[in-house]
Amino acid sequence: MNRLLQLFTAILLLGLPLGPTVAATEVNGPTEAKRPMNVLFLISDDLTYTALSCYGNTVCQTPNIDALAASGTRFTRAYCQGTYCGPSRASFMSGFYPHATGVLGYKNPRAQIGDRATWSQHFKNNGYYAARVSKIFHMGVPGGIEDHGPGRDYNGADDELSWTERFNSPGPEWRAPGDGETLEGNPDGKKPVVGGNTFVVVEADGDDMVHSDGKTAKKACELIRQQRDRPFWLGVGFVRPHVPFVAPKSYFPPYKPYSKHALPPKIEGDWDDIPKAGINYKTSPNMKMDLRRQKKAVGGYYASVAYMDAQVGKVLDALKASGQEDNTIVIFTSDHGYHLGEHDFWAKVSLRDESAGVPLIIRVPGKQPAVCHSFVELLDLYPTVATLCGLDVPKHVQGKDISAMLDDPNHQVREFAFSVAPMRKGFLIREDRFAFIQYEEDASAGTELFDTHADPQGYDNLAGDDRYQEVLARMQSTLTRKLAEVRDNDLSLQSSDRESPKG
């Protein structure tokens, strides 16, 4: 038994906590413990997996994310737990489903979780340097990150206890000089470029560094280059392709003329078989976007994705140059997905796959690249990454350890994924074949059932079809059981899940 193992045994016998500096079992020398792995968590905002070339998009160009996917495990069935920023981010950072904490709006979950450690805080408590650059917990985009000079609070709904250090990246957003157009609610074209949660495209003057994500990448590269005596957990939050679709002009040529973009098929009477709550909050008709505007929205979104992808590339290059790539877990994902015209739906909130599904790539040093079709949830990141880094998993955490999938992509830990859209009081149970969506806990606002094998685009709602009543009833009871399980936790605030989802 070597000296390190003797030390371990002594520590275990004494019941002392294993800090990260001694948690790894491999040794480089007789007395030297291997440094614990770093964690680099890259998260985009409002990015649908359908826009990434590694997920099959043939128009949008994402070479840096594709390269990460080719060297890691790419998950094809990863789901967020809430289909917009606030509840999704509060969930994967806290380790609780949205209906456990009741954080259904745009706040951080600290009031509900008390002193329970968030994901990054757990690493901080175990000796890591834990930092974020820009948006990890909720921040209003563009409103909360618009540059109004120093002295302004740019922290949004952040949770300070989660970090050793934190950094913000204010930018011009929709005010960036360049060629801009408001696409939404502007049928006569008289409206100027505006802010808020509005579809706006800006082909901006200047380079990457004009905008928030360029600044975020630069700060992240600096933090990676710094030599520390501790491992790091670094969260890097990009705000594109969240609206406004603003990027340097140089990213737009591959996506012009905008008229070349194909839109998803438009099926006559497509909405006739779904409940009102199933019609997304943003649609081509209610946004008053004609075909020209719809195609430009797709092109502007793609240019924003390409710009974000280039910033991801800078951070990954810095990691490689730092010499720490072989000792760093890299994760890339988004807080939820996005509609780009499917069923004439746009943006988030919907519980269809385009909106509830997320891109997810996990690269762990020493593991073989793979594609994994097992169901995973963003909630699984916390326990999985803690396990991979040799830390314990706090008891409150509701996600599952999926690290075995990184050795065997056929490994499974769940039969279905669960997601919610509190704005519509909507719930999704997504199984291999069927996707079941219910609005209101008593289903009073309707249900949807799609056979994703026979009808992958989800045109035919089978909830009213006699032949599927058994499936419907089974999935409805799965939902009831799941919600009870989510609420069976050590928090005492269940009544607060009546918090206004508008936050």
Q: Where on the chain is the footprint of Ca ion (CB under 5 A)?
A: 45-46, 85, 270, 273, 335, 459
Nearer of residues 122 and 424 to Ca ion, judged by Cβ: 424
The residue among 85 and 117 lying less far from Ca ion, judged by its C-beta, is 85
Cα distances (angstroms) measured from residue 330 to each of 35, 155, 166, 234, 358? 16, 24, 19, 10, 16
Nearest residue to the partner Ca ion, using Cβ: 85
203 CB-side CA count, 13 A: 16
Of 459 and 468, CB closest to Ca ion: 459
One-letter amino acid at 71 equals S
3 state SS of 8: helix
Strands 447-451 and 178-182: unpaired
Pick between residue 73 and residue 461 the one whose CB is nearest to Ca ion: 461
Rounded CA gap, 317 and 321, in Å? 6
Give the CA dihedral 199, 204, 208, 209, nearest 10 degrees. -100
Q: In angstroms, what is the minimal distance from the CB of 155 to Ca ion? A: 17
In the complex, least distance from residue 85 CB atom to Ca ion, rounded to whole angstroms: 4
Query: Considering the complex, what minimum distance in angstroms separates the CB of residue 472 from Ca ion?
Result: 16
- Three-class SS of residue 184? coil
SS3 80: coil
For Ca ion, give the closer residue by CB, 85 or 243: 85
In whole angstroms, how close is the CB of 461 to Ca ion at the nearest point? 6
Q: How far from each other are the two terminal CA atoms of the chain, in whole angstroms? A: 57
Per DSSP, 108 falls in state: -
Q: Which is nearer to Ca ion, 123 or 238 (CB)?
A: 238
Residue 142 and residue 163: Cα distance in Å, rounded?
Answer: 23
For the beta carbon of residue 60, count every other beta carbon within 10 angstroms.
23
Smallest gap from residue 270 Cβ to Ca ion (A)? 4
CB of 45 to Ca ion, least distance (A): 4
Report, in Å, the least distance between residue 82 CB and Ca ion: 10
SS3 call for 166: strand
Closer residue to Ca ion, CB minimum distance, 45 or 353: 45
Q: Which residue type, as a one-letter code, is found at position 22?
A: V
Residue number, 255 or 345, with CB nearest to Ca ion? 345
- Taking the C-alpha atoms of residue 265 and residue 310, their distance in angstroms, rounded to an integer, is 30
Structure-token match 């359908």, residue found: 50
The DSSP bridge partners found for residue 418 are 429
DSSP 8-state symbol, 470: H
